[in-house]
Amino acid sequence: MTTPRALVVEDSPEFMMICRHLLEKEGFEVVPAGDGQEAVAQAQKQRPEIAILDLGLPDFDGIEVCRQIRQFTDAYIIMVTGRTDELDKVVGLSVGADDYVTKPFSPRELAARIQAMRRRPRATVQARREAVREYGDLRIDLEVREVSRTGAVIELTKIEFDLLDLLSSAPRRTFTRPQLLEHVWGDNFFGDDHIIDVHVGNLRRKLGESASAPRHIRTLRGVGYRFEP
């Protein structure tokens, strides 16, 4: 069996050592990268299953590195930031990160997030009644995990696709926050459940709609979300 790889992008030797110890304990082969340029090169060469990416890098901004990596890999990406600005987190998630942690954090928290990600059910391995869903000019291809509108492909992150998959699987059914969290993150979710709002907001934006003028994704205040065909 091939050992899964984890890319750790961090210029701090101390943090790199902590991540290496944790990831090797979880069964990963660690691929280190000290800056953004090396991170992109290693991601292309090594094809990691998981990438842990610090926002504060010596050459590129971590958000730009995340954007570049996401163009050619579907690895789980966890962004690490020492800043508390919510905008960093929102922007990071919008360019393809799957989760984020804020320094300082416990190694146990990071390990739990990684374990939850790896247990997350994937739409491509679940039995489906149909391979393609079409709602007007919106086309959702479950087989290849691709979404398009009027023929133009819309680039979604794993979490955004999984949310759209669940919501569109039962049009007009309201899904609660706990149901959405369980579907996307599994049983061991750690953090603020408002992360759902961030991902839904990014999904809406990419679909060309907004909370004030929703076309497909409707908000039920205090309850959750539903998909309108």
What is the structure's pLDDT at 125?
A: 32
What is the structure's pLDDT at 154?
A: 95
Q: Which residue has the higher pLDDT, 123 or 117?
A: 117
Task: Using alpha carbons, select from 59, 17, 16, 52 the residue that is nearest to residue 38.
Answer: 59
- Euclidean distance between CA atoms 126 and 101, whole angstroms: 29
What is the structure's pLDDT at 86?
A: 60
DSSP per-residue codes, 4-48: PEEEEE-S-HHHHHHHHHHHHHTTPEEEEESSHHHHHHHHHHH--
Cβ neighbors of 131 (< 8 A, separation 6 or more) are: 141, 142, 143
Distances (CA, A) of 27 to 2, 5, 19, 119, 194: 11, 9, 12, 15, 31
Looking at the domain 123-227, which fold is it? Arc Repressor Mutant, subunit A (1.10.10)
What is the structure's pLDDT at 62?
A: 85
Alpha helices in the chain (DSSP H): 13-25, 36-46, 62-70, 86-94, 107-119, 158-169, 177-185, 195-207
Round to the nearest angstrom and report the end-to-end CA distance of the chain: 43
Share of the chain above pLDDT 90, in %: 37
The tokens describing 153, both together, are 């492909």
Categorize the per-residue pLDDT at 53 as very low, low, confident or very high, splitting at 50, 70 and 90: very high
CATH superfamily of 5-119: Response regulator (3.40.50.2300)
Domain ranges in the chain are 5-119, 123-227
- Euclidean distance between CA atoms 116 and 50, whole angstroms: 12
In the chain, % helix, strand, coil (3-state, to 5) comes to 40, 20, 40
pLDDT, averaged across the chain: 84
Residue 198 CA, chain-centre distance (Å), reads 11
Share of the chain above pLDDT 70, in %: 87
What is the structure's pLDDT at 123?
A: 37
The tokens describing 16, both together, are 């790199």
Q: Which residue has the higher pLDDT, 101 or 217?
A: 217
* Mean pLDDT score, 6-32: 93
79 Rama sector, left if φ>0, alpha if ψ -120 to 50, beta otherwise: beta
Q: Is residue 54 a contact partner of residue 103, using CB atoms and an 8 Å limit?
A: no
- Does position 218 have pLDDT exceeding 90, yes or no? yes
Q: Which residue has the higher pLDDT, 56 or 119?
A: 56
Q: Is residue 88 a contact partner of residue 66, using CB atoms and an 8 Å limit?
A: no
Q: Are the folds of 5-119 and 123-227 the same? A: no
CB atoms within 10 A of CB 142: 20
The DSSP element (H or E) to which 141 belongs, if any, is strand 138-141
How confident is the model over 139-183, as pLDDT tens digits? 998 877 899 998 899 999 989 999 999 999 888 888 888 888 888
